[in-house]
Amino acid sequence: MQYSISVMKKPIPVKAYQVEQVTIINTLEGKLTAQIGDWVITGVDGEQWPVKKEIFEKTYELYKN
C-alpha cells in the first residue's frame, strides 16, 4: 500500500531576478518562456527555471546572508 508523508524542501539559498521583458530560459527540460513580471531562479548547480510572480511570492522570501 502506498501512502504519502509531508515533507519540506531544505532551505537552500538561490539567486533570482525578475524579468522586464519576455525572456527565453534554457532549463534542464528545454527552452521555457518567462513572461514580464516572472522571476528566473538560478539553482545551486547553475540550472535556471522561470517562476510565475504569484507562485514566487507564495514560496520564496528574501534571504539575508
pLDDT given at position 36 = 98
Contacting residues for 9 by C-beta, under 8 A, at least 6 apart: none
pLDDT value at position 5? 94
Angle at 48 between CA 62 and CA 51, to 5 degrees: 60
The predicted model gives 2-23 an average pLDDT of: 93
Report residue 59's pLDDT band, with 50, 70 and 90 as the boundaries. very high
Q: List, for residues 19-57, the tens digit of each pLDDT value.
A: 999 999 999 999 999 999 999 999 999 999 999 999 999
Distance from C-alpha of 47 to C-alpha of 25, rounded to nearest angstrom: 10
